[in-house]
Amino acid sequence: MKTTFTLAWQLAALCCALLLISADAMAQIGMGPRQNSYSQNFDQLPATGTATWKNGNYLLPGLAVFRSKNDTIITANTGQGNTGGLYSYGPANSTDRALGSLSSSTAGQFTYNLLLQNNTGNAIKSVEVKYTGEQWRTSNKTAPQHTLSFWYAISSTPQGFSTSPTSDKGWIEVQELKFYGPKFYLPGGAHDGNAPENKALLQHMLQIEVPDGHYLMLRWKDADDIEADHGLAIDDVTVTWHTQTVDVPAPLPVELAYFKVTAFGTQVELQWQTASEDQNSHFMVERSSDGKLFEGIGIVAGNGTTSLTTNYSFYDQVPLAGTSYYRLKQVDEDESLTYSKVVALTRKVSQQVHVFPTIATQELQVSTGINLQQAIVIDPMGRKVLDVNLPKTGSNYSVKVNTLESGTYVLVLLDETGKRHVSRFVKR
């Protein structure tokens, strides 16, 4: 019996050792000489219900989550949930997942950590990181913009990293890889994190040296922000390493944190924020009816060179009916150009006023069942080029445009309540 007990104990010990070896092997990604990249799309996370992901455990290859409060659960969510915790974000029942969290005083703070080891036989000279930041929820209309920050650290051993989410000791923050949630000051609710307006692709080359055999740890940090947390997440992470220095393109003159467009009464409000600026002369606000051909509708002066956050706004006072597309053309002091992403906005078309023809040489005809009092014509640069009073009563009006130069214009009709009715025409 003694021999049998001893043999059983030895077998159990061997199994435990094998499990530990397996866990250690999974705890890091080998940065090898032949395969020089790693990718993770998080689609192995639960699509429904909950799963166990303990603090510090490597549930996915190379990936661990660290929490400042004790918890072991990750929950599948579409953005509807508002309880602090770790989340597998994605559409209902979809295998397309993203890793996110809601920090809070109860749930604590979170970091998502990726551990890699240099096995190339040489020093790694540069590491390129690319990922998609997604926003799946806004908490409430008083909560400001929140972020997921990005950090890295290098150590000769896996135990040499400070993994507490509340400590930044030994970590280096990379501003170029910080994800700024694009939606804030909005009522609480879910958003489609896969929609273009709710996500951003971030990419940056880290010019760092990782000695052979040393470890590199990357982390995304979800701090407990002011006000309730928005639902931010990461997806489609790719890390590429090089044993030779890779040239990095010159930084853009302006680091655009966000750009959003919203309907504001009869106008359209454009808001954007820069995290830093380098010799920024001005922004040209451009608009398009088809997303292909853009025209300038206004200029906003830049802030020169600054490392401070700057907020900008512009109002399109005569927006187009239906769907419009907006973008920013940033102009540097040396006249070099950079374009922002394109943002679309759809406005309801008024059916009470009909303007024809859309291509005119002498006059425009207006047919309506309401009383109009004023007609204003605006050129592509937003300048008023015609302003006429209309008869107080009537259902048909004419507006002479024969004195205008050839080009595209916007007609603004004001009714007796002050409401605007906007249409577009071409003068030949």
Lowest pLDDT segment from 167-171, 318-322, 369-373, 376-380 = 318-322
pLDDT, residue 241, reads 94
pLDDT, residue 227, reads 82
Mean pLDDT of 64-70: 93
pLDDT band at 394, cuts 50/70/90?
low
pLDDT, residue 393, reads 67
pLDDT, residue 233, reads 97
Task: For the chain, give the percent of residues with pLDDT over 90.
Answer: 50
pLDDT, residue 127, reads 94
Q: Is the pLDDT of residue 7 over 60?
A: no
Quick check: bond before 380 cis, omega within 30?
no
pLDDT band at 208, cuts 50/70/90?
very high
pLDDT band at 13, cuts 50/70/90?
very low
Show Cβ contacts of residue 242 under 8 Å, excluding neighbours closer than 6 positions: 36, 124, 125, 126, 127, 128
Residues 360, 361, 362, CA angle at the centre, nearest 5°? 105
Burial of 27 from C-beta contacts in 10 A (0-12 / 13-18 / 19+):
middle
φ, ψ of residue 158 in degrees (nearest 5): -65, -25
Mean pLDDT of 119-146: 92
Q: Which of 21-30, 52-61, 200-209, 243-252 has the highest mean pLDDT?
A: 52-61
pLDDT, residue 9, reads 39
pLDDT digits (tens, 9 = 90+) for 403-424: 999 888 888 888 877 778 888 8
Mean pLDDT of 23-47: 84
pLDDT band at 372, cuts 50/70/90?
confident
Lowest pLDDT segment from 12-16, 48-52, 148-152 = 12-16
pLDDT band at 81, cuts 50/70/90?
very high
CA nearest neighbour of 103 among 43, 171, 166: 166
Average pLDDT, the chain: 86
Q: Is the pLDDT of residue 249 over 60?
A: no
pLDDT band at 20, cuts 50/70/90?
very low
Pair 149, 171: CB distance under 8 Å: no
**DSSP code of residue 336:** -
Q: Is the pLDDT of residue 26 over 80?
A: no
pLDDT band at 377, cuts 50/70/90?
very high
pLDDT, residue 246, reads 58
Task: For the chain, give the percent of residues with pLDDT over 70.
Answer: 90
pLDDT digits (tens, 9 = 90+) for 299-344: 899 988 887 888 999 988 778 777 889 999 998 888 878 888 888 8
pLDDT, residue 307, reads 78
Q: Which residue has the higher pLDDT, 114 or 343?
A: 114
Paired tokens of 230: 């928005």
Dump the DSSP string for 232-249. Answer: EEEEEEEEEEESS--PPP
pLDDT, residue 98, reads 97
Show Cβ contacts of residue 57 under 8 Å, excluding neighbours closer than 6 positions: 64, 65
pLDDT, residue 349, reads 56
Instruction: List domains and CATH numbers for the chain.
Output: 13-242 (2.60.120.200), 254-347 (2.60.40.10), 353-427 (2.60.40.1930)
Q: Which of 98-102, 330-334, 359-363 has the highest mean pLDDT?
A: 98-102
pLDDT band at 14, cuts 50/70/90?
very low
pLDDT, residue 356, reads 86
Q: Is the pLDDT of residue 376 over 90?
A: yes
State the DSSP H helix or E strand holding residue 16, giving kind and residue range, or none if neither: helix 2-26
